[in-house]
Amino acid sequence: MPFEAYKIYQEYEPDKYKTSTQEKVAKALAGAKKEGLTPVKESLDFSEVQEIFGQDFIGIKEVEQFTGRSLTLEEQRIAEEKWHKKVEEQGLTKESLERLKQEGFMVVLRVGKLAGKEKKDKEMPVTIKNLRQKFPLFYDQDWYDNEQFAGEALSGIDWGIVKKELLDESKSKNWDEQQEILKAWADTHGVDQKFVRRRTPTEVAYDILAYFQVRNERILEKDWDWTSVQSSGGRFVCVGGFGSDGLGVAHGTRDFRFSTLGVCPAR
């Protein structure tokens, strides 16, 4: 049969003219569909996300600059795997990310290790204590020197999608009222509430300092993000006020409220 005629018949009788490989693939896909294992749609890759967020994308290159260490190939692989998992779990799309960008969110890669302050120093876990040791950018305070939260490290490689500044409606609200605001925010954005949370003190400090180091721009310069972690006295820790005096760490009872104290939704 001439080639062109074959093409015409193929259009109307596709099954008849499948190659053996095509038949095998079709059978495999049909079997996967039957078992509920249909392939997941390809995730947004880093280049697309970077294009959407621009300066508000803190990825591998920026994190290497901030931490002073190069990520290993294995760490880079994990970072990519974690991003695709987040996209899949939360149903993130180009449109939803564009909306978040317009609302003042950033995307930040968090890693668990910092280079030592000097070249000869060993790498160290990312904690508030170690961030303070490496970067002379903290307000001079000693109240939390022996607090447990100051030594709590980031859990490893992961991605954060977080609002750079406070939700306006969360200001002048107590901690529990802010929790309800976070739930309402999740609902209006079509996100399962379990994926919207407060950051830990270490995450807030890491995000603020990383952005400042690589973009030379201060976020939460006047405001404070109230975290999910309590101090030894049972008060919830807040981090912010990153003005010329340095990054501050404070804490307040859950019924406290103030005009510069709120929450930055994190996903």
Domain range enclosing 186: 46-262
CA atoms within 13 A on the CB side of 18: 11
Condensed to tens digits (0 to 9), the pLDDT of residues 155-174 reads 999 999 999 999 999 999 99
Return the residue matching tokens 């149903």. 91
pLDDT of residue 261: 98
pLDDT of residue 37: 45
Comparing 24-38, 115-129, 179-193, 233-247, the range with the smallest average pLDDT is 24-38
Residue 182: inside a domain, yes or no? yes
State yes or no: pLDDT of 237 exceeds 50: yes
Residue 39: inside a domain, yes or no? no
Return the residue matching tokens 């529990």. 176
Split at pLDDT 50, 70, 90, the class of 2 is: very low
pLDDT of residue 42: 54
Residue 29: inside a domain, yes or no? no
Alpha-carbon span 211 to 222, nearest angstrom: 16
Hey, which residues does 42 pair with through a beta bridge? none
State yes or no: pLDDT of 194 exceeds 90: yes
pLDDT of residue 40: 41
Condensed to tens digits (0 to 9), the pLDDT of residues 10-48 reads 444 444 444 444 454 445 445 544 554 444 445 688 889
Split at pLDDT 50, 70, 90, the class of 190 is: very high
Alpha-carbon span 262 to 184, nearest angstrom: 15
Average per-residue pLDDT for the chain:
89
What is the separation of C-alpha 94 from the centre of its chain, rounded to a whole number of angstroms?
Answer: 16
Alpha-carbon span 101 to 52, nearest angstrom: 7
pLDDT of residue 118: 80
Strands 105-110 vs 57-58: parallel, antiparallel or unpaired: parallel
Q: Do you know the residue count of the chain?
A: 267
Alpha-carbon span 150 to 128, nearest angstrom: 5
Residue 170: inside a domain, yes or no? yes
Cβ atoms of 262 and 226 within 8 Å: the answer is yes
Count of CB atoms within 10 A of residue 252's CB? Answer: 18
Instruction: Outline where DSSP puts E strands in 85-136.
Output: 105-110, 113-114, 124-125
Residue 117: inside a domain, yes or no? yes
| Reported pTM | 0.84
Condensed to tens digits (0 to 9), the pLDDT of residues 45-94 reads 888 999 999 999 999 999 999 999 999 999 999 999 999 999 999 999 99
Query: Please, which contacts does 62-66 make with residues 24 or more away whose CB atoms are closer than 8 Å?
Result: 62/109, 62/210, 62/214, 63/109, 63/110, 63/111, 63/210, 65/213, 65/214, 66/209, 66/210, 66/213, 66/214
Residue 33: inside a domain, yes or no? no
Residue 176: inside a domain, yes or no? yes
Structure tokens at 258: 């103030």
Residue 38: inside a domain, yes or no? no
What domain count does the chain have?
1
Q: Mind giving me the DSSP string for 12-38?
A: H-GGGG--HHHHHHHHHHHHHHHTT-P
4: Cβ contacts below 8 Å, ≥ 6 apart: none
